[in-house]
Amino acid sequence: MKQSWKIPAICGILMVVFNVIVFALPIYKTPVVLISDIAVVIAIAAQIPISSIAMKKGTTVTSKVYGWPIISVGLRYLAAITVCAMIFILISGVTLIFPIWLPVIVYVVLYGAAGIGLIAAESTRNYVEEQDIRHEEKVGFMRKLYAETTTLKRNVTDREMASCINKISEAVRFSDPTSSADVFDKESELYSVWGEIKEEVKANDTAAVKSKCMEFQQLLEERNSMCRIAKHNKA
């Protein structure tokens, strides 16, 4: 995704406004004033790559939301650096007696803290997204199965077959949605039987559909029982 022009534009405006304010102030332009001005300009410019990193995975609303903490860290440290800079600028520009080493140390510490905060925020974002992906993978099978049973139920015209498919659809709906390695084999059997049910529906074999639906429900009960046991063992 291309970098939006709005963020660089906003940063450019902020740089101009800050520099105009600093150089318009009726104070001496000491080395501390210049260092502080540069520190703020760097902090403003840093918001461009920070926003780019925060939104690099922004293909969905959820991923964009996860990027906001990263932007928040950047903005907080920009505010902190700006406040410190204004204090140093005003004191140094008025008194003319102010050690250069003090603002340098303060800015280095703030930049370092900002870097650590950004790394932590990015790591947290990655971890949360990984957990979301794993969760989607775990519940994906049952969601897919429920969607397929619901679709077939709506398309079947035979009442007896529709009733059987409705029962297994509701059974899937109220089953444990989370899969695990413990039930993968059972779910493979379950999906295989589901495939056979679809074939029997196409063949319009009501008796076979009823038989396969009963087999499906039995397998589903076994799968749900295995899920309960697996969760109990992990507890």
pTM for this model (two decimals): 0.63
Q: Distance between CA atoms of 23 and 71, rounded to whole angstroms?
A: 29
What mean pLDDT is predicted for residues 152-174? Answer: 91
195 contact partners, CB below 8 Å, separation of at least 6? none
**Domain chopping of the chain, boundaries:** 6-135, 156-234
Would you state the pLDDT for residue 62?
Answer: 63
Q: Distance between CA atoms of 233 and 235, rounded to whole angstroms?
A: 6
Can you spell out the DSSP letters for 36-52? HHHHHHHHHHTHHHHHH
The CA-to-CA distance between both ends of the chain, in Å, stands at 43
Confidence check: pLDDT of 1 > 50: no
Q: Is 214 exposed, middle or buried (0-12, 13-18, 19+ CB in 10 A)?
A: middle
Would you state the pLDDT for residue 207?
Answer: 93
Confidence check: pLDDT of 133 > 80: no
Torsion angle, CA of 33/37/38/44, rounded to 10 degrees? Answer: 160
Give alpha helix (H) positions in the chain.
Answer: 6-24, 31-45, 47-54, 61-95, 101-155, 159-173, 184-202, 206-234
- Lowest-confidence range among 81-85, 121-125, 224-228? 121-125
- Lowest-confidence range among 12-16, 61-65, 150-154, 157-161? 61-65
Q: In this predicted model, what pLDDT tens digit does every residue of 84-131 receive, in sequence order?
A: 999 999 998 888 778 999 999 999 999 999 999 999 988 888 877 777
